[in-house]
Amino acid sequence: MRSNHRSATRLNFSSATATANNMFNWQIAQRDYLNEMLRADKFPHALLFSGPDGTGKTAFATEYAEKILCQSDQDEACGHCHSCEVLAADTHPDYLNVAPAEEGKQIGVDLIRELIVKLNKTSQFSGKTVAIIENAEQLNRNAANALLKTLEEPTPNTILILVCSYPHRLLPTIRSRCLQLNFATPDKQLALSYLHQQAVKEPELYLQLAHGSPLKAAMMAEDELSEQRKVVLKNLIKTSRGQPISMSMKDIDKIPLKAVLDWCIDFCDDLIRVKLQGAQAQLTHIDVREALSNMAQICDIKGLYQFRDVLIERKKQSNIALNTQLLLEDLLILWKQAF
């Protein structure tokens, strides 16, 4: 089992920084399924790993690429053959990795063309070349079309692994040419055991806030995002009461833009649940139940649905450069209309 996880933001075009035998223990079924196809020599030329953020699918893709390239015949990469050593040194010529230059940014056609040129070269080691495209939903139209041609006429001995959290944003023609493998959130006990191993404080709370995604929960805990979430909630409460907001730049600067939108959507969902189901409602933000229950008494359900729709729209535009302060001010004005 893996003891650390890689950052979500990767290099523009990089080689691997992998370590062997590091799959998460909730990914064994996917590993065994792929191993079976590999042994039967029926491995597809293109795979699509999909599932929520924070379940470890990119890490799995990297690990499995290492397994494909490994010169041993074990269930996972051996870590000490020549291929594994070269991968660990970041210099494997048959391993390619494409990712957006920054989180939320698109993957352009130039990067995909560069990838295709490299895929067309003969592999230098095991006979196979493996390419991973992270955040594949960020491929722009031209990049997606260029990739489609490669998927339709694959180069022999090349394996493409697309990783994405929002597969519906991919071209249907790209989806249909890949074998899709789902990476759902793991069983709660497995996730909690991972968080205990990572020495996460309040693992139950963070797992709940991360909707069951263990890596996301660990990242939120590491960044102490729970406290910043309370700053956002405090200001939503103040606005609902017609009181002036109070946020220092120090507070705001630390808060990731995407997290603000995710929390506000979850606050809305919790408020709607309280309004519909009363005190027994199952909430995401379990530690602020009382504050949410009080707020639910004064907000209007129609206004909540409207605010939620706006948040979803903003989330779709979250690759547009905005700063957290502007976004929050904008949201608080809209939020006021829910009362």
Which residues contact Zn ion by CB under 5 A? 70, 72, 77-78, 81, 84
How far are the Cα atoms of 58, 97, 188, 227, 274 from residue 269, in angstroms, in the given order? Answer: 29, 37, 21, 20, 9
The one-character DSSP state at 139 is B
Residue 93 C-beta: closest distance to Zn ion, Å: 15
Q: What is the distance between the alpha carbons of residues 323 and 253, in angstroms, rounded to a whole number? A: 9
Residue 82 C-beta: closest distance to Zn ion, Å: 8
Give the residue with the Cβ less far from Zn ion, 78 or 179: 78
- Round the CA-based radius of gyration of the chain to a whole number and report it: 22
Are the CB atoms for 44 and 157 separated by under 8 Å? Answer: no
Give the residue with the Cβ less far from Zn ion, 19 or 197: 19
Residue 92 C-beta: closest distance to Zn ion, Å: 11
How far are the Cα atoms of 142, 267, 290 from residue 42, in angstroms, in the given order? Answer: 30, 46, 55
Give the residue with the Cβ less far from Zn ion, 48 or 81: 81
Residue 20 C-beta: closest distance to Zn ion, Å: 7
Residue 88 C-beta: closest distance to Zn ion, Å: 10
Sign of the alpha-carbon torsion through 6, 10, 13, 14: negative
Give the residue with the Cβ less far from Zn ion, 88 or 260: 88
Give the residue with the Cβ less far from Zn ion, 63 or 262: 63
Helical residues (DSSP H) of the chain, grouped into ranges: 28-39, 57-69, 82-88, 109-119, 141-152, 172-176, 188-197, 203-209, 214-222, 225-240, 249-253, 257-277, 289-298, 301-316, 324-336
Residue 45 C-beta: closest distance to Zn ion, Å: 22
Give the residue with the Cβ less far from Zn ion, 94 or 262: 94
Q: Which residues 6+ apart lie within 8 Å of 139 measured at CB?
A: 106, 107, 112, 133, 147, 170, 174
